[in-house]
Amino acid sequence: MMKHLIDPLDLTAEEVNEFLDLADKIMEEPSKYRHICDGRKLATLFYEPSTRTRLSFEAAMLNLGGSVLGFSSGTDSSAAKGESVADTIRVVSNFADICAIRHPKEGAPLVAALHSEIPVINAGDGGHQHPTQTLTDLMTIRSLKKRINGLTVGICGDLKFGRTTHSLIKSLARYTGVKFVLISPQELRVPDYIFESLQAKSIAFKQVERLDEVMPELDVLYMTRVQRERFFNEEDYIRLKDSYILDAKKMELAKEDMIVLHPLPRVNEIAVEVDHDPRACYFKQVKYGMYVRMALIMKLLGLEESEC
Ligand code: CP
């Protein structure tokens, strides 16, 4: 049956581990996989800006021997003339073998999947979910910390609108003994459905407002930017945008082996001086993202390693 990736929980925990294992193998020996997608095409349908996600999908497909086509904003496609996502994917299904879609409206990739003849990957839908960023984050944590179970993970910033945080929390909650420290202003706390799912599963978590108070407990600190594009008014954004700034002084409070991640783009929530700290891993994280997307494309196209 054709498989899509719309929500991180569309993948079982076993499937996630398979993706991560395959991504590790690709990273070790990328040349082995350079022809596995010969003749295949990836469509990137991006109705919202992106640097990492779109380019890493495109690099992933090119590295597998395939080719790419698509658009990078709603205004340079027929969406500008009023075409629906459902009609667009029906059309694109004739041109490509697999598709990654980003859209400002929550649920748009699901609509695409319901009308698609090719696998659809959610590359970020509004303030909802971003499952391939989560695969990237899991691969980064597993590679750098050598485990995921039992870690204390601080997630800081805009937990209300930050789709990467929603997907990450849902996924990490499936690992044993992960503790969450959710650091945000009151107004930017996680949505109720995330809060209630943690409570329902009796997962250890706390919600705090001060980053410096919890720094010493953390094994992973996941920083996020305040999502200006999701605010209803500029005044609220301006009031909240500088809520957290991670700097060298705050890093002094952290464990020596804590890692700092960020889905990027960064605005000012991590001071540039932190980039030189060996615990700053957000640029390494980007690299893992390309390998995990290579693994995802292979798996969703039903391609096995034995075909390399
Ligand atoms: N992390 C992420 O989604 O980055 P882009 O918006 O640049 O794709």
Task: List pLDDT tens digits, range 51-110.
Answer: 999 999 999 999 999 999 999 999 989 999 999 999 999 999 999 999 999 999 999 999
Q: Which two tokens stand for residue 237?
A: 């954004």
Residue 136 Cα: closest atom of ligand 1: 1
* Atom 4 in ligand 1: residue holding the nearest Cα: 52
Atom of ligand 1 nearest to the CA of 130: 3
Q: How far does CA 165 lie from the centroid of its chain?
A: 8
- Phi then psi dihedrals of residue 38, to 5 deg: -50, 130
Q: What is the model's pLDDT at position 57?
A: 98
* Selection from 193, 160, 172, 199 nearest residue 261 by Cα: 172
pLDDT tens digit sequence for 240-255: 787 899 999 999 999 9
- Where is pLDDT greater, at 273 or 308? 273
C-alpha of residue 70 to centroid of ligand 1, in Å: 17
CA of 134 to the centre of ligand 1 (A): 12
Residue ranges, comma separated, of all CATH 3.40.50.1370 domains in the chain are 8-128+287-307, 131-286
Q: Which atom of ligand 1 approaches the CA of 51 most closely? A: 7
What is the distance in A from the centroid of ligand 1 to the CA of 307? 31
Distance CA 184, CA 206 (A): 11
- Residue 180's DSSP bridge partners are 153, 205
Yes or no: domain 8-128+287-307 corresponds to CATH 3.40.50.1370: yes
Atom of ligand 1 nearest to the CA of 263: 1
Which CATH class name applies to 131-286?
alpha beta
Q: Which pTM does this prediction carry?
A: 0.95
Please state the length of the chain. 308
Closest-CA residue, ligand 1 atom 1, reads 263
297 CA distance to ligand 1 middle (Å): 18
> Tokens standing for 215?
């720094």
What's the 52 CA to ligand 1 centre distance in angstroms? 5
pLDDT category at 274 given cuts 50, 70, 90 is very high
Q: In angstroms, rounded to a whole number, what is the distance separating the alpha carbons of residues 242 and 228?
A: 12
Pocket of ligand 1 (CB under 6 A): 50-53, 124, 133, 263-265
Nearest alpha-carbon partner for 221 in 177, 286, 276, 156: 156
